[in-house]
Structure 1
Amino acid sequence: MTGSFFFDWATLAVSLVNVILQFWLGVTVLLNAERRTWGVWLTGGGTLLGATFFVIHSAILGYGLSVFSSTLNFWWRIGWIPVIALPFVWYVIMLWYTGYWDDRTARWPRQQRGWLALAFGGLVGLIGWLVFASPLPPFAEVVMFHFAAAAQVNGLSLFLVSYPLYIILCLGLALRALRHPLASERLMGDEGRRRARPWLVATTIVMLLVSLLVASVIGWVLVNVTHGSLIRDLPTMGVIIAGFDVVISTLIALAIILLGQAVVSYEIFTGKTLPRGEFQRQWFNAIVLAVGYGAVVSWSLTLQMRAIYTLLLTTLLMTLFFALLNWRSYTWRDRYIRRLRPFVTSQRLYEHLLAPSTAPPDEVDSTTPFKALCEDILGVQKAMLTPFGSLAPLVQPLAYPAIQPLPALPPEMMSNLQPETMCLRLDPNQNNGLLWAIPLWSERGLIGIFWLGPKGDDGLYTQEEIEIARAGGERLIDTQASAEIARRLMSLQRQRLAESQILDRRTRRVLHDDILPQLHTALLSLSAMPGVNGANAEAIDTLTQAHHQISDLLREMPKSPAPTLDRLGFVTALHRVVADEFPNAFDAVTWQIEPTAEAHLRSLSTLTSEVLFYAARESIRNAARHARDPTSTAPLTLEVSVAIQDMLLICIKDNGRGIQSPKPAGTGQGLALHSTMLAIIGGELNVESVADQFTKVRISLPPSPKSYT
């Protein structure tokens, strides 16, 4: 080496750092690519080629400048192949990344063809010149600064002058390509390109500075050799060249770090939709390993320690790094558990529902876990969770940090949603600052959408964060829907139990206090009669009164069930309900029944048919009781339609006074109960009303609902 401990240690340390980082990047890109296209292979191979150069560079440094051998001369000549190929490889990678190979018919790709041919010609010319003409002198002549055997023009080596010009051409064209990227076909590709472009531009600029510095060093050496003014003291020249080597290698290490940051932060070469947080942490670990390993190993080699001591030192270093890696992994795990604890903690639903209270159970608190998910895990500025489909009547929308207007996806996006769709890009100007829509799915289809705004640090969401948001949103909707179903059923059970107890006590009281005494009086009256004669009229009258009281009690009891669906069918049974129970409620009733829909109703299971029938009957009953306006003379009409339009639709519409207030009179349990029962079988109940115009109840059932028998 040079004899200077600092320069010998620094040059070897930086060279080893470059070997480790480039090798890690190359292997990582190849292993983590979503699809290993030729561009991915070129990117991974290019970084591995750079690692190969620094392997050769480290080997030459290990031999030292004062040792000449055929092996060293071999590494000297082989090392020029990756040096010549890498600038062109970088240029081609930038063309691939910016979309040149995707759409070569565009105006900008056509302009690049001539420059690409020129750069490729330079690559072929320099490698052919190197292989066949052998323009480079042996390594011993290079160290002695003697270039007589090389081709010269005016005393300068033509080859060593052509190479820097070739580098400047390739890197300049790479910068030009980065300024004009084409549209990306993959999801979030344009956003990733936009955010990664500063890193790639910085990488290219640093590489351009390296090429200019290399050209300056070559020019300085050749000019001084030509004029005979170069210092001939080999140790002094070794220190000077080592200083340049440290600066150049450090700049290359900086370029590698910038490139790695773009790769791990935005997944620019792997083809992944979203970056991964774990990927970034592993890159940081690789940098720590490279710096630590390079510094320690180069220190031991510079001190010329015995090989066994160097081996022991590297063993201890690897063990220490592995221990630190495990420690950091457990630290991240504990941090995630602390963040997830408010979200995954038990909501005590069982104790909540079975609390000894006469009031209906309260709704389950979903705001706290939703806030923990948005604030502590995702770090989002604003977010919303809106339910869709059959669970929509059971789940209230959630918003963070405050209530916001409900967004809506365009119809074309809604129609193209698939379970494989991870997220959709939104226009923040049209969606109240929200950037992403994450569809949430279950076995019954789309159940909701998780809307995400920008992150607190204005960064991109990682793939892990999107997956956590999706799983968390689905869990929140399922939990809230299940809790609401249980709450409604428990409330209904308590109400029915109370009504049953009241009815039972009332029956006992009437029979005990009124009917039995009257019957007892009648029997006494009949017993007191000496014979059967006209005096029995009073007893008969008493028995008649008892009969009327019993009849009145029976009329006040709940009516018998609706006509049997199995015997009459859905449509006929609904006709019977309107004719028997509400004969004078409507001035006109219109029926629109599709034969295919009626046939489909007959094919449903018994429980599904009963749920649909009772929901329709409750809707007709509400119209009969509340639709007519006492102050209006307009005729009240009822329209009942049954059709199939992608799903079974039962519409019940009246032209009455509509819903006058958000809290209509009554218990409010009727449609709420039927909406819950419909949700259980996969259906849905929606109410649309305009005051003084109409009320429309829409009952829908998907084509393949879950069957209950």
Structure 2
Amino acid sequence: MTGSFFLDWATLAVSLVNVILQFWLGATVLLNAERRTWGVWLTGGGMLMGTAFFVIHSTILGYGLSVFSSTLNFWWRVGWIPVIALPFVWYVIMLWYTGYWDDRTARWPRQQRGRLALAFGGLVGLIGWLALASPLPSFTEVVMFRFSAAAQINGLSLFLVSYPLYIILCLGLALQALRHPLASERLMGDEGRRRAKPWLVATTIVMLLVSLLVASVIGWVLLNVTRGSIILDLKMMGVIIAGFDLVISSLIAIAVVLLGQAVVSYEIFTGKTLPRGEFQRQWFNAIVLAVGYGAVVSWSLTLQMRAIYTLLLTTLLMTLFFALLNWRSYTWRDRYIRRLRPFVTSQRLYEHLLAPSTAPPDEVDSTTPFKALCEDILGVQQAMLTPFGPLAPLVQPLAYPTTRPLPALPPEMLSNLQPEKICLRLDPHHNDGLLWAVPLWSERGLIGIFWLGQKWDGGLYTQEEIEIARAGGERLIDTQASAEIARRLMSLQRQRLAESQILDRRTRRVLHDDILPQLHTALLSLSAMPGVNGANAEAIDTLTQAHHQISDLLREMPKSPAPTLDRLGFVAALHRVVADEFPNAFDAVTWQIEPTAEAHLRSLSTLTGEVLFYAAREAIRNAARHARDPASTTPLMLEISVAIQDALLICIKDNGRGIQSPKPMGSGQGLALHSTMLAIIGGELNVESVADQFTRVRITLPQSPNLQSPISNL
């Protein structure tokens, strides 16, 4: 190399940075492209071609300018192929990106054809000249500033003079193409082009500066060679050339970073509708890797360390980078979880479902998760969530940060909505500053639209952000609609239960107070009639049987409504049920009540206490009706226990024939209904039974059920 440690180290480090960044960009574009068209292949191939040039460049730097060999001469000539091709490739890429190949019948593409032919002619001419005529001096001759072997006019190398003009032509045409882009057929393509244009223009300008600098260096060298005033000190020449090389390589690295920023920020070459946030983070990681790796490896090579030490350094560096990458990944994961926590926490659907029907409807808290979604995750200045379709009457619109008039999509845009379209561009002047409409879908079709305004940072929404907005909006609408449907069904069920109880009581009253007295009066009238014949006797028997059946039915029905839990308490009310409804059903009843459990029962809400009470009463009723075996002489015993273990436990056990007896035992729908009611409040009902031995019903409830909304007795 030059003998200057810092100059040699910096030159090789920048060259390695260019190798890594261009290779990463080329491979990333090819691997992440939505459709690998010829333009994508050309873009990725152009970046890989730049990688190949800097691989050759790093190889030459590794050998040093003072080492002359056939290997360096080979790399010197091969390296000119990507150097010649890259300016034209960049020009063609800009034509493809700005839409030239999409509509070549337009006025601007027709004007561009002659310029494209001129640039292509320059490419073919230079490569053909390089391949057939050997217009360049060898690497040894270049270092010694001997150009006599090259084609010259008046001492000037024609090839070295033509090449800078060719670069300026290609890059100038690329800048002109960027100034006049055509309309994009891709969704949000025009927006992406508009935002990426400054980066691409800056990249082209930097490359144009590189070409001008290269032309200046070549002109300076050729001018001094022709005048014979070139400094013959090879060491000094090496330092000068290395300095120019460092500046040019640094400018190329800046151009690569600018191009990479456009690629990862707006997905300009991959064909994606929206950029991805993870893509940008990976690009930042690639820059860190390139700078760190280039600095360490070039330092070891410049010091001419043994190969084993260089290998160990690169191994440690890769391991450190991998550890840092994992650390950053966990950091991002924790940050996302922290931002999503308000959005995924419980919305207290049980409380909403079990709210009393007499109270005003309590909406599910969707404002907090919606605010977290808009403020912490999307970073949007304003947003709205409006329901559509059959769920619209069940869901209230949401707005951030304040309520605003509901926007409306044009009918033609609304009719063309498809699940494949993740978002639609809006005119902010006609939609109160809203820029994007994200349609929300379910199996039922369109269920809502998420309206998004400008982001606080002014950037473009990433694909992940739109997908999160879509999934979050669909979840909020589904949750609100499901909770409201369940609340209405629960209210309807309460109404039906109340009506059923009123009907049962009315039936008992009518039978007891009206029907039975009338039957009794009819029996007395018929019995008092003189000359009772066979027909009258048959009528009297029929009325008597009907009277007995109705009387038996009234005796089997509860003599009074269920005791009021608020007045008696759970245990006393259950005592009243056994004493009043089933006085002769059991030979003995054993009660095992823990005082702490009884106190805990009194602290429960009215609804929770009623659900537990009716489930226990159903278990006692089943035991009274079905447990006794007429063929058995064993006394029927009933054990009722209430205790607190890991949870509140109510156990009802009898020593009867069990529910597995072959004799009919009922349909079991009662316990199934109460199991469902217990599940709603967080409880559980389990039945254990052994034929001809016992049946045990266990009702459990967590000690701290989060149910505090009292309701009136049904």
Mapped to 2, the partners of 1:614 and 1:664 lie a distance apart of 23
Mapped to 2, the partners of 1:293 and 1:634 lie a distance apart of 89
What's the offset of the Cα at 1:79? Answer: 0.7
Mapped to 1, the partners of 2:33 and 2:142 lie a distance apart of 42
Mapped to 1, the partners of 2:679 and 2:4 lie a distance apart of 80
What's the offset of the Cα at 1:418? Answer: 1.6
User: CA-to-partner distance for each residue in 1:521-567, whole Å, 9 max, x for gaps?
Assistant: 78778989999999999999999999999999999999999999999
- 1:370-449 aligned at under 5 Å gives the runs 370-449=370-449
Contact 2:657 2:691 in 1 (8 A): yes
What's the offset of the Cα at 1:480? Answer: 1.2
Contact 1:380 1:453 in 2 (8 A): yes
| Greater Cα offset, 521-530 or 52-61 | 521-530
> Is the alpha carbon distance of 1:577 and 1:250 closer, same or farther for their aligned partners in structure 2, counting shifts above 3 Å?
farther
SS in 2 for 1:477: helix
| Greater Cα offset, 623-632 or 398-407 | 623-632
Mapped to 1, the partners of 2:694 and 2:445 lie a distance apart of 31
What's the offset of the Cα at 1:353? Answer: 2.0
> Is the alpha carbon distance of 1:539 and 1:78 closer, same or farther for their aligned partners in structure 2, counting shifts above 3 Å?
closer
| Greater Cα offset, 291-300 or 546-555 | 546-555
Contact 1:605 1:708 in 2 (8 A): no
Mapped to 1, the partners of 2:527 and 2:20 lie a distance apart of 116
| Greater Cα offset, 539-548 or 18-27 | 539-548
| Greater Cα offset, 392-401 or 292-301 | 392-401
Contact 1:15 1:57 in 2 (8 A): yes
| Greater Cα offset, 219-228 or 653-662 | 653-662
Contact 2:650 2:698 in 1 (8 A): yes
SS in 2 for 1:170: helix
> Is the alpha carbon distance of 1:45 and 1:350 closer, same or farther for their aligned partners in structure 2, counting shifts above 3 Å?
same
| Greater Cα offset, 115-124 or 613-622 | 613-622
User: What is the TM-score normalised by the length of structure 1?
Assistant: 0.74
What's the offset of the Cα at 1:368? Answer: 1.4
Contact 1:437 1:451 in 2 (8 A): yes
What's the offset of the Cα at 1:505? Answer: 2.9
| Greater Cα offset, 249-258 or 113-122 | 113-122
Contact 2:558 2:581 in 1 (8 A): no
Mapped to 2, the partners of 1:445 and 1:616 lie a distance apart of 45
User: CA-to-partner distance for each residue in 1:419-446, whole Å, 9 max, x for gaps?
Assistant: 2121111111112211111121111211
| Greater Cα offset, 68-77 or 514-523 | 514-523
What's the offset of the Cα at 1:122? Answer: 0.9
| Greater Cα offset, 472-481 or 94-103 | 472-481
What's the offset of the Cα at 1:663? Answer: 56
Q: Look up the match of 1:454.
A: 454
What's the offset of the Cα at 1:475? Answer: 1.3
> Is the alpha carbon distance of 1:616 and 1:467 closer, same or farther for their aligned partners in structure 2, counting shifts above 3 Å?
farther
What's the offset of the Cα at 1:84? Answer: 0.7
> Is the alpha carbon distance of 1:245 and 1:358 closer, same or farther for their aligned partners in structure 2, counting shifts above 3 Å?
same
Mapped to 1, the partners of 2:409 and 2:16 lie a distance apart of 52
SS in 2 for 1:535: helix
- 1:649-688 aligned at under 5 Å gives the runs none
- What is the aligned-residue RMSD (CA, Å)? 19.2
Contact 1:171 1:207 in 2 (8 A): yes
What's the offset of the Cα at 1:506? Answer: 3.8
> Is the alpha carbon distance of 1:686 and 1:589 closer, same or farther for their aligned partners in structure 2, counting shifts above 3 Å?
same
Mapped to 2, the partners of 1:409 and 1:580 lie a distance apart of 66
What's the offset of the Cα at 1:656? Answer: 66
User: CA-to-partner distance for each residue in 1:191-229, whole Å, 9 max, x for gaps?
Assistant: 000000000000000000011111111111111121122
> Is the alpha carbon distance of 1:189 and 1:49 closer, same or farther for their aligned partners in structure 2, counting shifts above 3 Å?
same
User: CA-to-partner distance for each residue in 1:468-502, whole Å, 9 max, x for gaps?
Assistant: 11111111111111111100000111122222223
What's the offset of the Cα at 1:296? Answer: 0.2
Mapped to 1, the partners of 2:97 and 2:693 lie a distance apart of 60
Mapped to 2, the partners of 1:380 and 1:119 lie a distance apart of 46
| Greater Cα offset, 238-247 or 441-450 | 441-450
SS in 1 for 2:590: strand
SS in 2 for 1:404: coil
SS in 1 for 2:273: coil
Mapped to 1, the partners of 2:205 and 2:63 lie a distance apart of 32
What's the offset of the Cα at 1:155? Answer: 2.3
Mapped to 2, the partners of 1:584 and 1:110 lie a distance apart of 105
What's the offset of the Cα at 1:586? Answer: 61
SS in 1 for 2:356: coil
Contact 2:516 2:550 in 1 (8 A): no
SS in 1 for 2:687: strand
Contact 2:184 2:190 in 1 (8 A): yes
What's the offset of the Cα at 1:381? Answer: 1.3
Contact 1:98 1:177 in 2 (8 A): yes
> Is the alpha carbon distance of 1:444 and 1:603 closer, same or farther for their aligned partners in structure 2, counting shifts above 3 Å?
farther
Mapped to 2, the partners of 1:483 and 1:105 lie a distance apart of 57
What's the offset of the Cα at 1:601? Answer: 52
Mapped to 1, the partners of 2:378 and 2:255 lie a distance apart of 31
Q: Look up the match of 1:505.
A: 505
Mapped to 2, the partners of 1:40 and 1:87 lie a distance apart of 17
SS in 2 for 1:360: coil
> Is the alpha carbon distance of 1:404 and 1:235 closer, same or farther for their aligned partners in structure 2, counting shifts above 3 Å?
same
Q: Structure 1: 5+ residue runs without aligned partners?
A: none
What's the offset of the Cα at 1:337? Answer: 1.0
Contact 1:360 1:491 in 2 (8 A): no
Q: Structure 2: 5+ residue runs without aligned partners?
A: 706-711
Aligned length: 708
> Is the alpha carbon distance of 1:602 and 1:221 closer, same or farther for their aligned partners in structure 2, counting shifts above 3 Å?
farther
> Is the alpha carbon distance of 1:74 and 1:492 closer, same or farther for their aligned partners in structure 2, counting shifts above 3 Å?
same
Mapped to 2, the partners of 1:560 and 1:516 lie a distance apart of 18
SS in 2 for 1:640: strand
User: CA-to-partner distance for each residue in 1:614-653, whole Å, 9 max, x for gaps?
Assistant: 9999999999999999999999999999999999999999
Mapped to 1, the partners of 2:589 and 2:201 lie a distance apart of 74
Mapped to 2, the partners of 1:580 and 1:217 lie a distance apart of 112
Q: Look up the match of 1:317.
A: 317
Mapped to 2, the partners of 1:218 and 1:295 lie a distance apart of 29
What's the offset of the Cα at 1:459? Answer: 0.8
Contact 1:681 1:708 in 2 (8 A): no
Contact 2:354 2:487 in 1 (8 A): no
> Is the alpha carbon distance of 1:523 and 1:568 closer, same or farther for their aligned partners in structure 2, counting shifts above 3 Å?
closer
What's the offset of the Cα at 1:317? Answer: 0.3
Q: Look up the match of 1:708.
A: 713
SS in 1 for 2:304: coil
> Is the alpha carbon distance of 1:606 and 1:181 closer, same or farther for their aligned partners in structure 2, counting shifts above 3 Å?
farther
SS in 2 for 1:173: helix
Mapped to 1, the partners of 2:365 and 2:298 lie a distance apart of 60
Mapped to 2, the partners of 1:332 and 1:52 lie a distance apart of 34
What's the offset of the Cα at 1:679? Answer: 25
What's the offset of the Cα at 1:411? Answer: 1.7
What's the offset of the Cα at 1:99? Answer: 0.4
User: CA-to-partner distance for each residue in 1:231-260, whole Å, 9 max, x for gaps?
Assistant: 111111111111111111000000000000
What's the offset of the Cα at 1:677? Answer: 21
Contact 2:527 2:540 in 1 (8 A): no
Mapped to 1, the partners of 2:177 and 2:127 lie a distance apart of 24
Mapped to 1, the partners of 2:439 and 2:4 lie a distance apart of 63
> Is the alpha carbon distance of 1:689 and 1:233 closer, same or farther for their aligned partners in structure 2, counting shifts above 3 Å?
farther
User: What is the TM-score normalised by the length of structure 2?
Assistant: 0.73
Q: Look up the match of 1:634.
A: 634
